[in-house]
Amino acid sequence: MKNLIIPAGNGVQKTQISINTEKWWFLLSLLFYPVGIVKIWRVKGWLAVKLFYTIFGFVFFLVLSGYLGIVLFASFLPALDRSVGIRADKTVYNTEGNYSATFLMSGNETNGAYELVHVELEPHGGNDWHYHKSFREEFKVIEGQVKIGRNGQETLLNKGEVTVANHEDMHFFKNATDQKAELLVKTVPASGLEKTIRVAYGLINDGLLKNDMTENPWHMALLLGYSETYLEGLPGWFQEPLINALAKIAQWRGEDRELYKYFR
C-alpha cells in the first residue's frame, strides 16, 4: 500500500501546527516575560487572560530572575568553608536546654574520613525532617530511647541499637522520653556537623537563635550550608542551589565573622 501523503495545504495540519506554535510561545513567554507581554497584548480579546498574565507573570518573572541571579552570582564565589580550628574544648553546652555535644573524633583528627559526636538530647528534643547530599549519618543510642524517622517511616531505638540515614534519605531524630537521652552520631565522610553544632549552640547561648530561627537571616543560611541540610516540603532542585548560594554569599559578605568565636 502506498504511503498516505497529506498535502501541505491541508487545513487540519495547519491548525495543528498553529496550536503547537501557540503552546511553545506560551511556555517561552513564562520564562521571558518581556517577550510574553508583547506577544499576548497583540492578541485580540482575552482581556482577563492578559491582565492575569501581566500581574502574575511579572511576579513570577521577578522571582525567577532573582533566583537565577543569586545562584549565578554565587557560582563565582569561593567555596563555603566548613572547617573548624583546632579547639581545646571538645564539649559544647546548650545552656538554654541544659545539654551538651562532645566531639569524640573531629574531621581534623580523621583527615576528613568521618566525624563522631556524642549528643545529649533534652526530653522530647531533637530535629525535624531533613536530608543531606554528601554524607550519611549513623545513629547509636547510648542511653534512653530515641525515635528515628527515615523516608516516611519512624522507628523507636533502645539503648545499643543502631540505624543509618544514607545520602538523601529524609530523616530526623528525637528523644522519645521525659528524660535525657544520649546518642552517638557519626557522619561519613566528615561534614560540617561540628561547625554547625558549635555555631548553633553559641547563637542559642547568646540569645541569637530562637524557635529554630536566627536573628540574622544570613546566619541561618550559613548554618544550613555548613551541614548541607535541606528541608522537607521544598523540591531539591530548587532549595539545594539556593541554600548553597545564600551561604556562599553570606560568607562573601563577611557575615561569618561574628561566628568566628564559636569555631576558630
Instruction: Give the side-chain half-sphere CA count within 13 A for 42.
Output: 7
Q: What is the mean pLDDT of each run of 10 residues along the chain (264 residues)?
A: 42 45 53 68 74 78 90 97 93 87 95 96 92 94 96 95 95 94 96 94 94 94 95 93 98 97 94
List pLDDT tens digits, range 180-232.
999 999 999 998 999 999 999 999 999 999 988 999 999 999 999 999 999 99
Residue type, 130: H
Cell numbers placing 7: 498535502
Task: Provide Rg for the chain, Cα atoms.
Answer: 26
Strands (E), 6-135: 91-94, 99-105, 115-121, 130-132
How many CB atoms are located within 10 Å of the residue 55 CB? 10
Question: Helices 193-205 & 217-226, crossing angle to 10 degrees?
Answer: 150
Looking at residue 43, its pLDDT comes to: 74
Looking at residue 220, its pLDDT comes to: 97
Distance CA 75, CA 188 (A): 26
CB of 208 closer than 8 Å to CB of 216: yes
Strands (E), 73-228: 91-94, 99-105, 115-121, 130-132, 136-143, 146-150, 153-157, 162-165, 171-175, 181-188, 209-210, 213-214
Looking at residue 95, its pLDDT comes to: 87
Task: Tell me the pTM.
Answer: 0.80
What CATH topology corresponds to 91-263? Jelly Rolls (2.60.120)
Distance CA 4, CA 17 (A): 19
Q: Pinpoint the alpha helices (H) of 188-233.
A: 193-205, 217-226
Classify residue 255 by its DSSP letter: G
Per-domain residue ranges for the chain? 11-74, 91-263
SS3 call for 210:
strand
